[in-house]
Structure 1
Amino acid sequence: MTTLFDVILPVFLVVGFGYLVCWRKWLTEVAVDGVMRFAQNFALPVLLFSAIAKLDLGANYNPLLLLAFYSGALLSFALGTALSLYWLKRPAQDAIAIGFVCLFSNSLLLGVPITERAFGPEALVGNFTIISVHSPLLYTFGITAMEFVRARGHNLSMGRVALRALSGVLHTPMVIGILCGFAMNLLTLGGLVMPEGFWAAVSMMSSAALPAALFGLGGVLYRYRPEGEVRAIAMCCCISLLLHPAVTFGLGKLFALSVAEMRSAVVTAAMPPGVNAYLFAALYGVAMRVSATAVLVATGLSMVTALLWLSLLP
């Protein structure tokens, strides 16, 4: 119970405050969109830039950590897509969008603050190792899968489909922040020393990122009404909140990950689908109602399931 009040509740209180403010009309939708635009397009990319720039790339990139997390993610996508096609009888494009909901954990907005509150700032190294490839890898994977489905009957070459996917990923602000972080990391290793004022400004922007994003997330979630196919929503919640972390936990034990790596991998895997899962569906205009509702319902349920997974971690 202490974990609930000290670790999980503060994060969701900020989300709930954003929800309350939007519900009571104390901020307009335009204002909430402005908060989220600031967070997603500027503050969060700066946070990612700072974290990746300071990572010890040689020491922290354990391939087994990434394999444990992303095996669970890709299995979740495959199962969500297959069940959508053959159980829910959804069109192929809908199935890809629903599979993406099962695939894309809210690794940054919820995974980072919950890990930090549970285990301290020093525990975030594994989180940022996962996050450094999260958006580039999963967006590329999802966009490529969708473009291949859409390309059927249009005689588009594999190269052109791949180019579309790569172009879409490289225009994402968070991916730009990650790539700039890698560039700064390599330049620093080469002897570049940035002035202290630069890092102070980066720290100021980074400190605003998570509170603004969590508050804005609450405002955005208010717009999503709990409606849509119950079976599809339940499936997304079960896969993202239970299957993904279970696979990651099992593989982490098999690979003998360190305590810190297990914490980062399992907590990140246990997070609900992020708003980006809905934005992916909206980008293609398919399965938007199911995606939006799954994000809302899973975010609420994750208060309970996150407590379960935290109780299993050392």
Structure 2
Amino acid sequence: MLDLLAIVLPVFGLIGIGYLGRRTGFVSERMGDGLSEFVFSLSVPCLIFNTLVRAKIPEVQPWGYWISYFAGVAVVWALAMLLGRRLFGLKGVSAVVAGFSAGQANTVFVGVPMILKAYGDEGAVPLFLLIAVHLPVTMTLATIMAEGRQASPLTILRRLATHPIVVGILAGSAFRPVAPYVPGPGWQIVELLASAAVPCALISMGIALRRYGLQMGWKLPTLISAFKLVLHPLIVLLLATYVFDMPPVWAGVAVLFASCPSGINAYLFAERYGEGVALASSTVTLSTILALGTTLIWLYVLGIG
């Protein structure tokens, strides 16, 4: 429990700095908006680029591994959008934010340290392989859903081609062959920009929490948190252990990855489109708190520790 607290507390520390800074008037709403724009337009694309360029992708794709994880993403994403619309009256981008919050995981703060502590070096390959694909897939899907509501296919393609996240994905894929020839200072620039993504995003979310509070109440964020923390890893566990054949470590990594709380990128996405920010910020915070308990359960189910 103390190890898990040590992992999660830095998240709330940075969120708390943003919240208290805005509550005391030390920082302004304009600062939160500026940080959010910087992170979404520049810092996160650099993070994606850096991850994709350096990821070790195997020659033979582990399709059972991919299907197990992303089938769970599809189910919880669809359920969150459906129930958000039917029960809570969500529309447009707000419904996409609900699905994104249910299907996208916090890999930076929770996933990496937790999984490496659970499985050590043996879990590193499946972990970073999934990290390299997880955010590009979920972010691109959310972008297509948000941009495609009132646009022609040509307009969608044009918007996607100039979207910061998609640019990071395409650039990261294209630069893989020339990565060994890039000089050290070039990588340092990319790494510095990428390293700013998480702290700036969390402080920005703290400012937004002060602005929005829990305007969505507890019901929908709690429902989405249940999808993310319980249903998603359960689906992955069943598929990875009973349907597809893969090493137990790979199955365990996929389950723990799925059991991570909702990621900060759902909040950044909502900020980008100006819809669903209160829902995303509430879900990220609530799911992270609840993950303290659910993570212990999944570690026990997997026979770890």
TM-score (norm 2): 0.77
1:256-287 CA distance string (max 9 Å, x none): 44455345433332233345435655677766
Report deviation, 1:292: 4.5
TM-score (norm 1): 0.75
Question: Could you say which residue in structure 2 is the equivalent of 1:185?
Answer: 176
Query: Cα distance 1:62–1:52, how it changes in 2: closer, same or farther (>3 A)?
Result: same
Distance 1:50 1:122 in 2: 22
Letter in 1 for 2:166: V
Report deviation, 1:105: 3.0
Distance 1:213 1:108 in 2: 12
Question: Could you say which residue in structure 2 is the equivalent of 1:270?
Answer: 259
Query: Cα distance 1:220–1:60, how it changes in 2: closer, same or farther (>3 A)?
Result: farther
**Where does 1:149-160 land on structure 2 (aligned, <5 Å)?**
150=149, 160=152
Give unmatched runs, 5+ long, in structure 2. Answer: none
Q: Give the match's secondary structure for 2:37.
A: helix
Distance 2:99 2:295 in 1: 21
2:232 maps to which of 241, 244, 252: 244
Is 1:298 matched up with 2:287?
Answer: yes
Report deviation, 1:170: 3.4
Query: Cα distance 1:123–1:285, how it changes in 2: closer, same or farther (>3 A)?
Result: same
Contact 2:40 2:165 in 1 (8 A): yes
Question: Could you say which residue in structure 2 is the equivalent of 1:199?
Answer: 187
Question: Could you say which residue in structure 2 is the equivalent of 1:37?
Answer: 37
1:28-64 CA distance string (max 9 Å, x none): 2222333343333333322322222122222585322
**Where does 1:1-314 land on structure 2 (aligned, <5 Å)?**
1-59=1-59, 61-86=61-86, 88=87, 90=89, 93=92, 95-108=95-108, 110-112=110-112, 114-115=114-115, 125-145=125-145, 150=149, 160=152, 162-188=153-179, 193-228=181-216, 230-254=218-242, 255-258=244-247, 261-262=250-251, 264-278=253-267, 289-313=278-302, 314=304
Contact 1:107 1:269 in 2 (8 A): no
Distance 1:144 1:135 in 2: 14
Report deviation, 1:76: 0.5
Letter in 2 for 1:90: G
Contact 2:37 2:272 in 1 (8 A): no
Letter in 2 for 1:25: G
Distance 1:172 1:242 in 2: 32
Aligned residue-pair number: 301
Report deviation, 1:307: 4.0
Contact 2:47 2:194 in 1 (8 A): yes
Report deviation, 1:99: 3.2
Report deviation, 1:74: 0.3
1:210-251 CA distance string (max 9 Å, x none): 334334333333333113354333321211221112212332
Give unmatched runs, 5+ long, in structure 1. Answer: none
Distance 1:54 1:285 in 2: 33
